[in-house]
Structure 1
Amino acid sequence: MTTTAPHEPVSFHDPHKHRRITYIVAGAVIVVLLVLGLAMYNRAEHNAAAEAKADQLIALFQAEELPVPDRDQIIRTLGDDGGAMCADPGNALKKAIRDGLGSNGAAGPGQRPVFIAERTIKGEKLALSVYCPDQLPEFQTYTNGLNLDDVVKE
């Protein structure tokens, strides 16, 4: 009588195959997320309208003798619709940031308001007048209560 060795149980779980499937699924998810991210990325349009508005803003800045940013930088940042500046210039976060810029930079009890440079607000008003003039009255109302002065010396 011949005896045979008991057969080893057949394993349907191959760890290498399991890892390979995990890597393929993870890679596919990453590729899908990258494609979605690129498709949804909203960047400023570099078109004729963006160039015309940038030129208009540059002319206004030069007329008011304000420092003029690079034309391509204006086009990339503001595009043809004003970008984030026109999204909601009167919202609470933007006001808080603007108010924080009007302080002496100290923290805690040493922090106190200081005069804000007139040309900073003037530049913002000019940009709003070009890109989103409908938002200008609300911004004007906000800036009426600010202490402005010619604090930037050449």
Structure 2
Amino acid sequence: MSPTRFASEHRWIYIGAIVILVGMAIAGLIKYSTVKRDTQTAAKANQLSEDLVAAGYPAPDTETVEYVLGTDGGAVCEDPGSALTTALQRIQQLTNGATGPGMRPIIADTKAIGAERIVLQVYCPEKVDDFDEAVDELKTDDTVRR
């Protein structure tokens, strides 16, 4: 049996080995990026928890924070100063909770806005100024008993 005939008869072994090696390399890269993302997500969630506790807020569940905010802050960082966010804060979230004609705006507690500011500082610090401008005109005070 000549060496060229041997190589051509067992070509499928070489191709199979190459496919397996390439597959293992791709799986390794995917696993590495997942571990890296998980590490970053956990670090940011822990930092957020520490910052919130330092500011006087209760500590959130870090697993929930990791799931909801991920590594980039999710919806919180998309456009924190947008008109829709401002409208939702003024119309829905900063009201007395009644519906229909009984619904009235309230003076929001300063800490309610402060918590979102801390989230922005951790996940997207470049958007804090936009957020500050958007909520600057809101009337806030210490309205919640502590």
| Deviation of 1:110 (Å) | 3.8
State the partner residue of 1:105: 97
2:100 is the counterpart of 1:92: no
The structure where helix makes up a greater share of residues is 2
Q: Percentage identity across aligned positions?
A: 38
| Deviation of 1:106 (Å) | 3.4
Q: Which moved more, 1:89-98 or 1:137-146?
A: 89-98
Which SS does the other structure have where 1:124 is aligned?
A: helix
Give the TM-score, by structure 1 length. Answer: 0.65
State the partner residue of 1:128: 120
Consecutive unaligned residues of structure 2, counting only runs of 5 or more, are 1-35
| Deviation of 1:124 (Å) | 0.2
State the partner residue of 2:28: none
Consecutive unaligned residues of structure 1, counting only runs of 5 or more, are 1-44
1:118 to 110, 114, 124: 110
- Measured against aligned partners, the alpha-carbon deviations of 1:61-104 in whole angstroms (never above 9, x if no partner) come to 11111022101011001011101111111222222221121122
Query: Do 1:57 and 1:126's aligned partners in 2 also have CA atoms closer than 8 Å?
Result: yes
Query: Do 1:57 and 1:127's aligned partners in 2 also have CA atoms closer than 8 Å?
Result: yes
**Aligned partners of 1:76 and 1:114: how far apart in 2?**
31
Which SS does the other structure have where 1:127 is aligned?
A: helix
Give the TM-score, by structure 2 length. Answer: 0.68
Instruction: Extract structure 1 runs of 4+ deviating beyond 3 A.
Output: 106-111
Distance 1:85 1:120, change over 3 A: same
Which SS does the other structure have where 1:47 is aligned?
A: helix
| Deviation of 1:153 (Å) | 1.5
**Aligned partners of 2:57 and 2:132: how far apart in 1?**
19
Query: Do 1:46 and 1:76's aligned partners in 2 also have CA atoms closer than 8 Å?
Result: no
* Count of residues in correspondence between the two structures: 110
